[in-house]
């Protein structure tokens, strides 16, 4: 595509691309032209991701998120775990992108989130942040990176911002982590809390169970929500809570709730990207609340199987996928290599 759109020119005359020929400013090729030429000459499979149409909206900030909340417009959040999954979320116009520790399973093949380390989370945050030119980026604080002390939590949050390049951190826990949230907020880092089902505590909760089903359990979720709001969290993820309970809690709060398995009455929604785009083999267990919007697994499988068939049959690479040379060069080369020393 690039070679059809770009006008091939020679830089530096006979000296080629590396030649340093002085030319007046008005004759200097533009950056776009250089990029164009670079695309043409980069005969390698490791080129950077193409710059897509880009997102023309203004950067999403805490203020613009608050505006959406006030207007009652649902806020959209999607998880991402690397540059492409962040890039596609940005292109789709997600207001918020979460590097959730669910990537331990969906991207790293771990059994649960307890195994993922802060360093690993930071690496994923860095990749996603590069793709999110306008979305508001939130990084999860993994298990073991904030429970020991408030100092530990602040240090973790600072690393996620400085090294992971996120705009805010997410922390699982309610009332018991309110003082921790307060300290992180005091350090100038926005916090998204996470209540209801907190997967990092699955062992203590007796598994991945719906929270807030009884009146007492619903009151506990509500108290958690009030405590983290009081501590200064600017938003809260509410996971696996009956829709009616989550809706009532949402009405009672003055910060936005992001539901995941918590019904339509929340201020916004979040889903795990690998789940909702269908990037998993058939038969995998999915929670009830996940709607499968795509079938990335089947599409990818089909493509790779087709590739295998074509390689085996030598159909790929056909001439249009190869680099030409002249007949003379080939003949001369054959003569050279067939000479007996």
Two structure tokens written together for 131? 């793709």
Q: Please tell me whether residue 208 adopts helix, strand or coil conformation.
A: coil
Query: DSSP letter at 314?
Result: T
Contact letters (x/-) for ligand KIV, 197-236, by CB under 6 A? ----------------------------------------
Nearest approach, Cβ of residue 288 and ligand KIV (Å): 14
Interface region with ligand KIV, contact rule CB under 6 A, candidates 2-10, 96-104, 213-221, 285-293: 96-104
Give CA separation, 97 vs 108, 137, 154, 222, in Å: 19, 5, 21, 25
Between CA 77 and CA 99 the distance in angstroms is 10
Exactly one of 140, 189, 225, 268 binds ligand KIV (CB under 6 A); which one?
A: 140
Q: Which pairing describes strands 168-172 and 191-196: parallel, antiparallel, or unpaired?
A: parallel
- Check if 239 is active-site: yes
Nearest approach, Cβ of residue 242 and ligand KIV (Å): 17
Which of 263, 277, 265 lies closest to 79, judged by CA?
277
Phi, psi of 136 (to 5 degrees): -85, 120
Query: Which residue's CB is nearer to ligand KIV, number 140 or number 224?
Result: 140
Nearest approach, Cβ of residue 38 and ligand KIV (Å): 37
Exactly one of 105, 240, 260, 274 binds ligand KIV (CB under 6 A); which one?
A: 260
Query: DSSP letter at 173?
Result: B
Between CA 222 and CA 291 the distance in angstroms is 26
Q: What is the largest CA-CA distance in the chain?
A: 91
Q: Please tell me whether residue 321 adopts helix, strand or coil conformation.
A: helix
Determine which one of 90, 95, 172, 239 is catalytic.
Answer: 239
Does 96 interact with ligand KIV (rule: CB under 6 A)? no
Does 100 interact with ligand KIV (rule: CB under 6 A)? yes
Interface region with ligand KIV, contact rule CB under 6 A, candidates 98-106, 208-216, 218-226, 308-316: 98-106
Give the torsion sign (CA, 186, 187, 193, 199): negative
Does 193 interact with ligand KIV (rule: CB under 6 A)? no
Nearest approach, Cβ of residue 261 and ligand KIV (Å): 9
Exactly one of 65, 75, 76, 79 binds ligand KIV (CB under 6 A); which one?
A: 79
| Chain residues in the site for ligand KIV (CB under 6 A) | 79, 98, 100-102, 140, 194, 237, 260, 270, 272
Residues annotated as catalytic are 239
């Amino acid at each position: 595509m690039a070679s059809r759109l770009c006008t091939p020119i020679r830089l530096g005359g006979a000296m080629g691309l590396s030649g340093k020929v002085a030319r007046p400013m008005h004759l200097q090729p533009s950056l776009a032209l250089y990029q164009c030429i670079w695309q043409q000459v980069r005969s390698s499979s490791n080129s950077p991701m193409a710059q897509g149409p880009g997102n023309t909206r203004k950067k999403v900030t805490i203020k613009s998120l608050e505006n959406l909340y006030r207007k009652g417009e649902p806020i959209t959040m999607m998880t991402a775990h690397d540059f492409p999954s962040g890039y596609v979320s940005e292109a789709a116009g997600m207001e918020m992108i979460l590097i959730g520790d669910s990537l331990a399973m969906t991207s790293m093949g771990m059994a649960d989130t307890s195994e993922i380390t802060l360093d690993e989370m930071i690496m994923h945050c860095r990749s996603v942040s590069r793709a999110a030119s306008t979305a508001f980026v939130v990084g999860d604080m993994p298990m073991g990176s904030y429970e020991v002390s408030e100092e530990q939590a602040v240090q973790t949050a600072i690393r996620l911002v400085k090294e992971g390049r996120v705009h805010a951190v997410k922390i699982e826990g309610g009332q018991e982590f309110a003082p921790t949230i307060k300290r992180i907020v005091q350090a100038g880092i926005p916090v998204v809390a996470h209540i209801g089902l907190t997967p990092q505590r699955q062992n203590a909760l007796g598994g991945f169970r719906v929270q807030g089903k009884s009146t007492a359990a619903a009151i506990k979720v509500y108290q958690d929500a009030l405590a983290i709001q009081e501590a200064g969290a600017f938003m809260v993820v509410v996971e696996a809570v009956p829709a009616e309970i989550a809706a009532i809690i949402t009405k009672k709060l003055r910060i936005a709730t992001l539901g995941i398995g918590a019904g339509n009455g929340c201020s916004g929604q979040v889903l795990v990207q690998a789940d909702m785009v269908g990037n998993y083999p058939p038969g995998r267990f999915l929670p009830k609340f996940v709607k499968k919007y795509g079938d990335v697994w089947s599409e990818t499988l089909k493509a790779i199987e087709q590739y295998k068939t074509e390689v085996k049959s030598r159909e790929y690479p056909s001439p249009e996928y190869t680099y030409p040379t002249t007949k003379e060069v080939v003949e001369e080369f054959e003569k050279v290599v067939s000479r007996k020393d």
